[in-house]
């Protein structure tokens, strides 16, 4: 039954992102606010929520920076500079194998910094874009946050027009903490060294004590 509950949780997460992709694009902040409200409800009520059972009754939703339109990027996936592969470290004792699927450049407030788009080499594979920045351990979880994780359905898709699958919507307002930030019983993949930014990404999810 626990395995089926986890399947249900992942379906629910995928549905959250599907609805965000399907919303009209003329008011991305309103779409983001609906995504937050639905996600908070899922975190508070689902039996497979990463929020510990004992903390759910007092859970009032995750803290976020105010929405910043500058951080909604239509990013091209550029070829990786060289063949790269390795292990993604976990918050626990395990690791996940990966290879580079390309490079994503964060223009605008990201100052052109690049992140490696990982392809997790597990069964079926999946695109994964974790990152760390200078807010980690201060206003955000020390292990970093996620921008994209298609294995879990966390995917805002790509903008219409030329490029198709070679372009991604990378919106740091949706950056979220891994499950291990809620409860150390989870072992979560973390950002490899090449995805550590020397800038603050002041968008997305915050630790509870840093609500804006």
71 Rama class: left (phi>0) / alpha (psi -120 to 50) / beta: alpha
Please enumerate, as own/partner, the contacts of 41-44 that have beta carbons within 8 Å and a separation of 24 or more. 42/9, 42/12, 42/13, 42/16
Number of domains in the chain: 1
Largest Cα–Cα separation, the chain: 49
The pLDDT tens digits for 146-201 are 999 998 899 999 886 555 558 899 999 999 999 999 998 888 888 888 899 999 99
Neighbour count for residue 167 (Cβ, 10 Å):
19
Return d(Cα 135, Cα 64) in angstroms, integer: 13
pLDDT recorded at residue 212: 43
Q: Note if the pTM is more than 0.95.
A: no
Identify the domain containing residue 112 by its residue range.
Answer: 2-210
3-state secondary structure of 34: helix
Q: Are 139 and 207 in contact (CB under 8 A)?
A: yes
The pair of three-digit structure tokens given for residue 153, joined into one six-digit string:
């359905």
């Amino acid at each position: 039954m626990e395995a089926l509950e986890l399947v249900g949780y992942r379906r629910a997460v995928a549905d959250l992102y599907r609805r965000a992709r399907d919303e009209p694009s003329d008011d991305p902040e309103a779409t983001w606010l609906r995504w937050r409200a639905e996600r908070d409800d899922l975190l508070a009520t689902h039996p497979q929520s990463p929020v510990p059972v004992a903390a759910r009754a007092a859970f009032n939703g995750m803290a976020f920076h105010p929405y910043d339109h500058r951080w909604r990027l239509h990013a091209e996936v550029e070829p990786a500079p060289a063949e790269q592969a390795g292990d993604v470290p976990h918050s626990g004792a395990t690791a996940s194998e990966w290879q580079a699927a390309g490079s994503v450049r964060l223009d605008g407030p990201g100052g052109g910094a690049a992140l490696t788009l990982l392809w997790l080499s597990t069964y079926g594979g999946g695109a994964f874009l974790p990152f760390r920045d200078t807010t980690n351990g201060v206003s955000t979880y020390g292990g970093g946050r996620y921008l994209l994780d298609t294995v879990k359905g966390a995917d805002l898709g790509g903008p219409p027009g030329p490029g198709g699958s070679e372009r991604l919507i990378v919106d740091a307002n949706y950056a979220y903490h891994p499950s291990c930030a809620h409860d150390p019983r989870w072992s979560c993949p973390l950002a490899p060294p090449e995805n550590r930014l020397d800038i603050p990404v002041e968008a997305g999810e915050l630790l509870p004590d840093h609500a804006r």
